[in-house]
Chains A and B, each alone.
Chain A
């Protein structure tokens, strides 16, 4: 197995079913915003993703915010999209993040800028997510930059990538997933799962390729309490698959918050039984305080300790 650089990696290697969560940084420069969220999550999750200008909206930088949260004692996963930085900027930030003690990275293409508030921005996409994974892999495990330059002190990172079981064309998406594995991805976090049948089918294909034996797969769960949010996600969020039955279930419910928690717990219990799923990734958008509740209800509390 690869060298162990992060606590998240250590837990996965020890065989624990891990719980990750997600934190959106503020549109502003207040460090207490991050500290407060970090305190709320501490002890309930094994690692927390810090998004990188998600949906192409300007927010506090993923690395800066992750450092603040990390100082509160949380294990952090920085996110790096290829939308805003070229190979020079990305590698430079990876070195900086590692120097700050941040040990996990999720490599992403990034939402197109047309989703955000700066539609007139020029995008970069100098690298794609597969190339970024390989770049980080070579930096960490071979000690070389993309240009071949050797480093005396390479960065230390546990390398992750995204997987979307619901995107098209399916066969091509599987080829790309395999490329991420070959490039050096060590864990995958999936798109939010609402269509469990499709997810189970995807996991079957993942197992056929043996991906689950080479990469830790963390199933994406997006707890929600709002029919409106579900409808927006169904129609306007890239790569989401939300069956009508899910929306109907919420529409019929008298207590959408309780329904949201229940559905998240049900989903966790179902994915936990699937061979190859090694943890969950909770991403309650605008509802981060529900994470501890869901973790407890899903009998995932307390979290294991590692050095």
Chain B
């Protein structure tokens, strides 16, 4: 899923500015609900905090809230048309996709981001998420024992660990597991170490952002 975290309240307040009287905060019920950044609960909490702030500032700001199922599909954005049309500012607690999709659906409204979209990750502890994929567009997990060197080696090295790997930790930060140590350990466990001796040629990055913004069209199910 897409993992995100809420921006600092001070940054949100600065971003909202002074030139508005009504604010609509929109949450998203999918990925960012799981990472506890932009679901119904976070929307409500942020609204309360902002109401408190503006009342202390003696500003009369009306704040409405809603949480849609997915901000990345127009059908769910249609549900909030009335609220969007009657407010000055819309603050999205969706990921970067959600913010942009709202802006596309409501071209006459200013849509602001309340989250920092972090990465594609998995839940790895209580209130903890970790990056597992960068969405390179050409999966190589079959060659690396199910551990992605592109996402989990700080240098994205495809032919083995760099010289900075010690005691299973990355040279960048001892909090980061060396991705290649993980690949190696899995290979040993699976009895497939020999496979890691194979030379891996330079990656074709056209399927990543280097081919320009990407689009996927599934003709099989949706044509005619």
- A contacts, CB < 8 Å to B: 82-83, 87, 109-112, 114-115, 123, 125-131, 134-135, 146, 162-164, 166-169, 171-173, 175-176, 178-179, 182-183, 191, 238-239
Contact = CB atoms under 8 A, between A and B. Distances in A.
Contacts of A168: 161, 165-168, 178, 181
A129 B158 CA distance: 10
A175 B196 contact: yes
Contact of B158 (A131, A162, A167, A172): A131
Interface string B160-177: 111111111001110000
Contacts of B202: 87, 126-127, 131, 135, 146
B126 interface: no
B180 A112 contact: no
Interface string B24-46: 00000000000000000000000
Interface string B97-140: 00000000000000000000000000000000000000000000
A164 B163 contact: yes
Contact of A128 (B157, B184, B188): B157
Contact of A167 (B154, B156, B157, B161): B161
Contact of B160 (A87, A135, A179): A179
Given A168-B166, A191-B163, A114 B173 contact: yes
B80 interface: no
B207 interface: no
Given A112-B171, A168-B181, A176 B199 contact: no
Interface string B185-202: 100100001001101111
A167 B199 contact: no
Contact of B159 (A166, A167, A176, A238): A176
A125 B151 CA distance: 12
B20 to A, nearest CB: 32
B155 interface: yes
11 contacts: A123-B155, A125-B157, A126-B202, A127-B202, A128-B158, A129-B157, A131-B158, A171-B184, A176-B161, A179-B197, A239-B164
Given A146-B202, A164-B163, A125 B184 contact: no
B166 A167 contact: yes
A85 to B, nearest CB: 13
Binding site secondary structure of chain B: loop
Contacts, number: 108
- Give the residue among B155, B181, B196 with the most A Cβ atoms within 10 A: B155
- Give the residue among A112, A134, A135, A166 with the most B Cβ atoms within 10 A: A112
A16 B203 CA distance: 39
B155 A172 contact: no
Contacts of B163: 109, 162-164, 167, 173, 191, 238-239
A39 to B, nearest CB: 32
Contact of B157 (A109, A164, A175, A182): A109
Contact of B172 (A112, A125, A163, A166): A112
A172 B196 contact: yes
A169 B155 contact: no
A222 to B, nearest CB: 14
A103 B125 CA distance: 52
Nearest to B183: A172
A239 B160 contact: no
B169 to A, nearest CB: 9
Interface string B10-31: 0000000000000000000000
B106 to A, nearest CB: 32
Give the 9 A-B residue pairs with the shortest CB-CB distance, closest first: A238-B164, A176-B160, A164-B163, A238-B171, A130-B159, A239-B163, A172-B184, A128-B157, A109-B162
A146 B165 CA distance: 28
Given A164-B163, A168-B167, 17 more contacts: A82-B155, A109-B163, A114-B172, A162-B163, A168-B166, A169-B161, A169-B181, A172-B180, A172-B183, A172-B184, A175-B197, A176-B159, A176-B160, A178-B197, A238-B162, A239-B164, A239-B165
B155 A131 contact: no
A173 B193 contact: no
B28 to A, nearest CB: 28
A306 to B, nearest CB: 31
B205 interface: yes
Contact of B199 (A83, A163, A183, A238): A183
A304 B172 CA distance: 41
A163 B163 CA distance: 7
B199 A179 contact: yes
Contacts of B167: 168
A128 B153 CA distance: 12
Contacts of A179: 159-160, 197, 199
B18 to A, nearest CB: 30
A126 B173 CA distance: 22
A168 B158 CA distance: 16
